[in-house]
Structure 1
Amino acid sequence: MKTKILVLTLLFFSGLLTAQDLTVGEAINKAGRQRMLTQKMTKCYLMIGLKSRVDQARTELDDAVALFEEQMLELQDYPAGNKTKKTLGEVYELWLSFRIKVVSSPNRLTAGILIDQANELLEKCDDVVTLLEKEAKLKSAKLVNMSGRQRMLSQRIALYYLAYAWKIPSESIYPELKGAREEFEKALKELVASGYNTSDITTKLNKVISQWEFSKHTFDVNNSKMMPSVITVTTNSILKQMNDITGLYAKVTDNQLTAKR
């Protein structure tokens, strides 16, 4: 714990020095990653509650909390518009209460409250991404947003799958899982059709498509045996690939901005 406090202290001061150097693409990328982290942290909470890959879940949760705080500091110091700054302040307020809950001992009966808090934080983080995209005034910025959202959806699928497996008392679990799967698949098709795709982006997207087509039937809790460990491995793999792709779209956006100048 002392080590983590030291790390976060160092991150605070280093953030003051480096945030001003964030490019537009990087800012949208990091803001988008915050959305994903809200779902990933909650997923880890559920993994611990289910006793599924507990050591891995605790490590992932610890790292995700630290990364969220690091990026929050960077974004707060990024030269964004007043409305974006105000929204970032609202993210911070929601984060304070969410953080306390997500690192507490998992409780199946109250896990639904945490999921609601995660979704409230997710929506506010999404507002930040949308505002940054508008400030960029570049068509390719939408791709950074959309691709980054795929990262979030990979973890959201895992979150609601685990919530279903743990039998959390909520009627919204299955509809949310189904909705996340459908949104991921629809957005994947839109990304593939983009005219801004480089050969590298196209190659990586095709790999995601292959994995999605092979694995998507396992995400249907009504038509397959519950396999929490398999789901977390698969969605983490998709997350990693979409994270790489989002970084590439961020570079496309920065190149567009440079050319525009």
Structure 2
Amino acid sequence: MTKITSQIKLIGGVLSLIIAFIVLITIYINHTSTQDSLVINVAGKQRMLTQKMTKEVFWLQHHSSDEYTTLNRSIEEFDHSLDDLINGNGNRGIYAPPKPSIAEQLHHIHTLWKDFTHYLNTFKALLQKTRTLKEKVPEASEHILNISDNVVKVMVKEKLEGSYIDDAGRQRMLTQKIAFHLSQYLINGQSEHITSFFHAFALYKSTLERFLHTQALMDLPRLNRVLTDNQTAWYAYSAYIIDLMDKQRSLNQTLLKIKDINVVLLNAMDNTVNAYTAYSSQRHKELQLFQYIASVIALLFMLYSAYLIRKIEENFSDFLKHSKAMATSF
């Protein structure tokens, strides 16, 4: 009897420990689920931020707004969240990378992020410069047109051959053609406008140089003066236009870099989110397995307890029978 009582006490103690273990595991599972959900959410939001920054860049490219607040906020948020994911942040409930493979992926993302931010900052600087230059296009084009028109007027007054006047008149058209294809290229970046632009640009330049090297034209004082003014204005205008084209070309190349890195960065971030999700799922399965094993052990102890209780009842029944038999015999 004493042995059975000791066993029941032991079973009661073990059951208490198992129940406490199950409760602790349940609390820990809930805690880790909250942590994992937060980390996966932060990592998942990084994917959205890469798209938001790229969208904002292309929106700024095609609008006249100088408002970089949304872009800068996205850059700052991505940067801080990436640092938290790499190093952990207890205040936010974000743990450090739980596996070497995840840490390696995050460091790869950090390298991509440095390149991405470099091109984002380059974009902002170039965008401001090109906008400043673009604002001067109408005025600069009008100025070179007026000077070219003066050349035509002086040639008419000097009663020069029709071929000279025709070529000078074409110069006026070329100034507008240059301005048109330049504007179209600045708007949509299509390569055919580049070809047409440089064709008109080269024709205007060669025609002006031919005028300047024709002694019969330069011997006329009034025409010499307007052609010299035309040459000075053209040098300034062409330098300005080439500078604008170079900066626009650099801006377009920067946009392509942003677009390309965005794709790589998005895929890398997506793989990291999948890795966090897989880790969370595996960890929960392992904890749930411990929970199931503890529950099965508790059930076995409960069955064994029922068996012992049954044995106690049988022993007690036998004891009563023996007691009655002894009482009757007396």
TM bracket (short chain): 0.3 to 0.5
Larger of the two Rg values belongs to structure: 2
TM-score normalised according to structure 2 size = 0.35
Q: Which has the higher helix share?
A: 2
TM-score normalised according to structure 1 size = 0.44
